[in-house]
Chain A
Amino acid sequence: MMFDAAMKNPASDIVVDVKDLSTWFDTGKQVIKAVEGMNLTLRRGRTHCIVGESGSGKSITARSILNIVPKPGRIIKGQVLLHGAGGTGGIVDLASLHPKGRQIRSIRGRDISMIFQEPMSSLSPVHTIGQQIIETIRLHRRVGKQEARERAIEVLAQVRIPRPERSIDSYPFEFSGGMRQRAMTAMALVCEPKLVIADEPTTALDVTTQAEILDLMKSLQQRHGMALMFITHDMGVVAEIADDVTVMYMGEVVEHGPVKDIFFAPKHPYTQRLLASVRALEKRSHRAGSAAKLRSDDAILEVSSLSMSFSARRSLFSRKPKEPPVKALDDVSFTLKRGEVLGIVGESGSGKTTLGRCILRILDPSSGSIRFTGRDGAVADLAALPRRAVKPYWGRMRMIFQDPFSSLNPRMTVFQVIAEPLLNHGMRDRRALETEVVSLLERVGLTRDAMWRYPHAFSGGQRQRIGIARTIALKPELIVADEATSALDVSLRAHMLDLLLGLCREFEMSFIFISHDIGVIRYMCDRVAVMHRGRIVEIGDADAICDAPSHPYTRSLISAIPKPDPNLRGKSQRIRYVSEVDG
C-alpha cells in the first residue's frame, strides 16, 4: 500500500527503537517487573498496536519511552533509541537521559507526544483548552502568544472541533468526552511529533465516539506520516487500525508481527486464547442456545409508559428562568417474560442505568407503571407503591453492579458481604448462614476458605463472582445487571456470562442485562432493547437486531463496533445517525 516502498528500506524509517527494555517497581517489600526485556520498533507512517490485559505492562512501556515512569518505577536496563531527534538525524538514547533534564524535556511533546486514556482527568480542570495547547507550543517553539494561539486554532480545526476560534477558550468540563479526547489529540499533534503514543485513547468513550476518534487518528496519520503507538486491550480496535501488533503478557512480549499474522496465524498460546475469547463474544453462548421455550403469557415484568426526569436545581435568589427538567426516561414500555434475558443497549446518557434503577425503585419514576408478577402469581405495580412497601420486593429483584472494586465494602469479610442480604431478610441462625454462604460461593466457582478473607485479596473477576453470590443469595426472580462485565478483561467476560446464564436457568431467573457492548448482549441475551435519549427505539430478538437492525440509530451503533477481523477493515460502511431532535 502507501508505505510499501518504505518497507523495503526499513532502517531509514525507524523513529523509535526500544531494545531490551526493563522497568521495575521496587516497593521495598517486593520487586515488580512491570516490563522485562522489551523490544519494539516503531516506524514512520505505521500504526503499532500493543495488546494485553490490564497489568501486562503496556502503559509502563509507553511511559518508559518518554522516561516518565511513576515512582517507585525505574528503567533498570535497555535502550530507547530516538532517531533524528530535533531534526539533526542523530540517535539519542532516551532511557539514559536524566528524567528531569533539559534534553529529555525538549523531546517530550515535540518529538514524541502522548494521548492518555481518561479525557476527563488528563486535562487540567482549571485551565482552558487553549491555555494548555498554547503552553505546549511555546515550550518548544519561539513564537509569540498570538501566533501560538493561531496555531492552536488551526490544530483544533484539524481534529474537527467545531468553532475552534471559540472552543479554544472553553474549559475541559464544558466539553463532552469525545471532544475532550479530540482536544487531547490536538495537544499531542501541535508540535508535529515523529511519534504519538496513544494509551487506550478510546476505552472511556462510547462505541460511536470511539469510531470517530479512530477515523480521526487514521486520517491525521495519513496526513502527517508520524508513527503511532496505540495501546489497547480491544482486539476489534486492533483489527481496525493496526499495521503491526505486539502482544504483551505479564510484562513480556509474547508475540509480535504484522496484524494479519497475529490474527490468522497466532503462534503463542496466550495470543490464541486471547483471540478465542474475543471471537467467543462474536456469537451466541452455547448455553443461551438451550433456552427453554418461553410461555408468551407468563410475564414477570410489564413496564408501560415509564418516564422519569431529573429536575434542574434552582437556588433561592437566582433570577434565571428555571431550566426544563432532563428527561432521562421518556415513555418506555416493554415486557419481560419469566426466564428471559433482556439486553438493554445504548450509549452513555441514553437512560439505561436510570431504567434499571427505576425498575428496582432505587429511583422514583415520575409516571408510568411497573407491573411485577411474582412466582406466587401476585401482581403489584411497583411504580405506585410507597417506598416502605417496596422493601420486600428487594428480596425478589436484585442488582449486579458494574465496578467489582467499589461495590464490595472493603471492611467486610466475604462472609459478611454475602450473608448481609440473608440477614436483612430474616435468616438469623449462624450455622445455617455459613452453610448457605459456602454453597453460594461454590456455585459461583469460589472455594469455601474465601469466606473469611476481605475483598482486597481477590482479583477483579473473583470479586465480581462474590458480587454475584451476594445477588443470588435470596434466589431472586429478577436480576438487573448493570454493565456487569465492563470492568473485566476480555478473557474473563465469556466465563462470567456463562456463569450468569447457568444461574439464570438453574434458578429460573429473569435478567435485565444493561450494557454498551453489543458483543456481550449478543452472547447473552434472548431479546434486546436499544435505547437512545431515554426512549426505546427498537426492541426484538437479539440475533435479528444484531444482524439486521431496522432503526437507523441501531444501524449506526452496530456499524461503529470494530470487528476483530483485519480483513473486514474498510469493508463495512460506517453509518452516522443524526437524531431528529438535532435536526
Chain B
Amino acid sequence: MFGFIFRRLLWMIPSFFAVTVVAFVIIQLPPGDFVTSYAADLATSGSPADSATLDALRVRYGLDQPMVVQYLTWVGNAFRGDLGMSFEYRSPVASIIWDRLGMTTLVAFCTLAFVWLVAFPVGIFSAVKQYSIGDYAVTFLSFLGMATPSFLLALVVMYLSVEFLGYSVGGLFSPEQVNAPWSWAKVIDLLGHLWIPVVVLGVAGIAALVRIMRANLLDELGKPYVETGRAKGLPEATLILRYPTRVALNPFISTVGWVLPVLVSGDVIVSSVLSLPTSGPILIQALKTQDMYLGGALIMFQCVLVLIGTLLSDILLAFVDPRIRYDN
C-alpha cells in the first residue's frame, strides 16, 4: 500500500512538468504579449509609447528571449518560490494570489463535500426507487441542474437572497469584516456567506453525480450477489447499503479526480459574478491583459489541483476496493 502511494507520488513529478509546459504554452498562445496589450492601452488613452520604450520594456521583462528560455527561467524561479512579477499589479505574483488561492481551495473543498453529501443519498434513492415519482422528480431536477449555467444560477441566488434574506451577497465577508483580522466573528461571518457559492457551484456537480450514482447502482442491483444477500435474510436497507452501494461506490470515488478541477474552473465565472476574493476574477483579468506570470501561476495551480484530486481518488480507490493490485 505504501509502495503504491509512493509510486503514485513519483508519477506526479513528470505529470507536473507536462502540466507546466501546457500552462506556459496556453499563456503564450494568444498573439502578442503583455507589452503589446500595454501599448494598446496607452494608445487608447491618447499617449502612444514609442517603439524604443516598448522594446526596452520587453528586454526588462525578458520577453525578447526565445520561448524555451522564458519557460526554463519561469519554472526554475517557481521552484525557488519566486513566481515572477505581475506586469499588471507591479508586485510579486505570490503576494497577490496567496490569500486568494486559500479561499479558492476552501470554496472548492467545501463544495466537493457538499456535492458528495447530497449526491450520494439522492443517487441511491433514485436508483432503488427506479421509475417512481421520486425518481422522476430527481431525474428532472438533475437535468435541470446540469443544463443551468452556474453564473445564471449565481444571479438568481443573489437576487433571491438580497430580496428575501436581506444579505449582502457579494464576496465571502460582510463589508465590515473584509479587512478585519481573523477572529471567530470573521469565521462565522464567512460561513454565513460561503453557502451561496457552495450551492451555486455544487448544483451542476450534484446533478452529474446523482446520475452517475444512479447508473452505477442500477448496474449492481441486478447482480446475483444481491440476490444471495436477500436469500440470507438481510433486511432490504442493510442489504442495499452494504453490498451494491459498496461496489457502486468505486466509480463514484474516481469522480473526485475530475470534479475538483470542474469546480475550480466553474469558480472562475461564478466568482466574478459573486465578486468572491478567490483566484477566478484575477485569472480572467490576467488572461485579458496577457499578464503571463500571474496567469501562468494560476493555471499551474489549477493543474496541481487536478493532480491532487486524481491522487486522492486513486488512493481512496485502492483503499476501498480489494481487487485493485498495488504492485501492478
List chain A positions with a Cβ less than 8 A from chain B. 63, 66, 68, 70, 100, 105-110, 113-114, 116-118, 121-128, 135-136, 139-140, 171, 173, 184, 187, 313-315, 317-320
Contacts and interface: CB of A to CB of B under 8 A. Distances in A.
Contact of A318 (B228, B229, B235, B327): B327
B231 A124 contact: no
B233 A123 contact: no
Given A109-B233, A320-B327, 19 more contacts: A66-B231, A68-B231, A106-B233, A108-B230, A108-B232, A109-B231, A116-B224, A121-B224, A124-B228, A125-B323, A135-B232, A135-B234, A171-B322, A184-B228, A314-B328, A317-B10, A318-B327, A318-B328, A319-B3
Interface string B297-328: 00000000000000000000000111100011
Interface in B196-241: 222-225, 227-236
Contacts of A317: 7, 10-11
B246 interface: yes
A113 to B, nearest CB: 7
10 contacts: A68-B231, A109-B232, A114-B228, A114-B231, A116-B231, A124-B247, A126-B322, A139-B232, A140-B233, A317-B7
Given A121-B225, A123-B225, A126-B321, A313 B231 contact: no
A136 B247 contact: no
A168 to B, nearest CB: 14
Contacts of A139: 232-234
A105 B3 CA distance: 44
A315 B7 CA distance: 10
B243 interface: yes
A180 to B, nearest CB: 11
Contacts of A319: 3
Contacts of B223: 121
B247 A126 contact: yes
A113 B10 contact: no
Nearest to A118: B224
A173 B322 CA distance: 9
Given A171-B323, A318-B328, A124 B233 contact: no
B247 A116 contact: no
B228 A116 contact: yes
A66 to B, nearest CB: 6
Contacts of A140: 233
A121 to B, nearest CB: 5
B247 to A, nearest CB: 6
A70 B228 CA distance: 12
Interface string B275-308: 0000000000000000000000000000000000
Contact of A122 (B222, B224, B234, B323): B224
A187 B225 CA distance: 12
A72 to B, nearest CB: 11
B323 A126 contact: yes
A128 B49 CA distance: 75
A139 B228 CA distance: 14
Name the residue in B3, B223, B230, B234 with the highest tally of chain A Cβ atoms < 10 Å from its Cβ. Answer: B230
Given A126-B246, A171-B322, A319-B3, A68 B232 contact: no
Contacts of B235: 100, 105
B232 A122 contact: no
Nearest to A133: B232
Contacts of B233: 105-110, 136, 139-140
Interface of B: 3, 7, 10-11, 222-225, 227-236, 243, 246-247, 320-323, 327-328
Contact of B328 (A105, A126, A127, A313): A313
Contacts of B7: 315, 317-318
A123 B231 contact: no
Name the residue in B228, B230, B235 with the highest tally of chain A Cβ atoms < 10 Å from its Cβ. Answer: B228
A125 B10 CA distance: 30
Contacts of B227: 63, 68, 70, 116, 122
Contact of B232 (A63, A117, A121, A136): A136
A317 B6 CA distance: 10
Name the residue in B243, B246, B247, B322 with the highest tally of chain A Cβ atoms < 10 Å from its Cβ. Answer: B322
A187 B229 CA distance: 11
Contacts of A118: 224
Contacts of A184: 228
A162 to B, nearest CB: 21
A127 B322 CA distance: 8
Contacts of B231: 66, 68, 108-109, 113-114, 116
A279 B247 CA distance: 45
A106 B328 CA distance: 44
B202 to A, nearest CB: 28
Contacts of B234: 105, 135, 139
Contacts of A116: 224, 227-228, 231
Nearest to A66: B231
Contacts of A66: 230-231
Contacts of B224: 116-118, 121-122
Contact of A124 (B230, B246, B328): B246
Contacts of B320: 126
A510 B205 CA distance: 59
A464 to B, nearest CB: 25
B233 to A, nearest CB: 4
Name the residue in B7, B232, B320, B327 with the highest tally of chain A Cβ atoms < 10 Å from its Cβ. Answer: B232
A583 B207 CA distance: 59
A56 to B, nearest CB: 19
A114 B232 CA distance: 8
Nearest to B237: A100
A66 B229 CA distance: 12
Nearest to B322: A171
A63 to B, nearest CB: 8
B310 to A, nearest CB: 16
Given A108-B230, A139-B232, A125 B247 contact: yes
A107 B234 CA distance: 11
A9 to B, nearest CB: 31
Contacts of A123: 225, 228
Contacts of B247: 124-126
Name the residue in A116, A126, A136, A171 with the highest tally of chain B Cβ atoms < 10 Å from its Cβ. Answer: A126
Contacts of B322: 126, 128, 171
A229 B247 CA distance: 31
Contacts of A173: 323
Contacts of A121: 223-225
Nearest to B223: A121
A140 to B, nearest CB: 7
A107 B328 CA distance: 44
Contacts of A124: 225, 228-229, 243, 246-247
Nearest to A113: B231
A313 B234 CA distance: 40
A436 to B, nearest CB: 41
A36 B1 CA distance: 55
Nearest to A62: B231
B319 to A, nearest CB: 12
A63 B3 CA distance: 46
B327 A68 contact: no
A136 B232 CA distance: 6
B294 to A, nearest CB: 36
Contacts of B236: 100
Contacts of A105: 233-235
Nearest to A174: B322
A125 B235 CA distance: 20
B4 to A, nearest CB: 10
Nearest to A136: B232
Contacts of B3: 319
A196 B183 CA distance: 67
A318 B232 CA distance: 41
Nearest to A317: B7
A491 B225 CA distance: 30
Contacts of A187: 228, 232
Nearest to A170: B322
Contacts of A128: 322
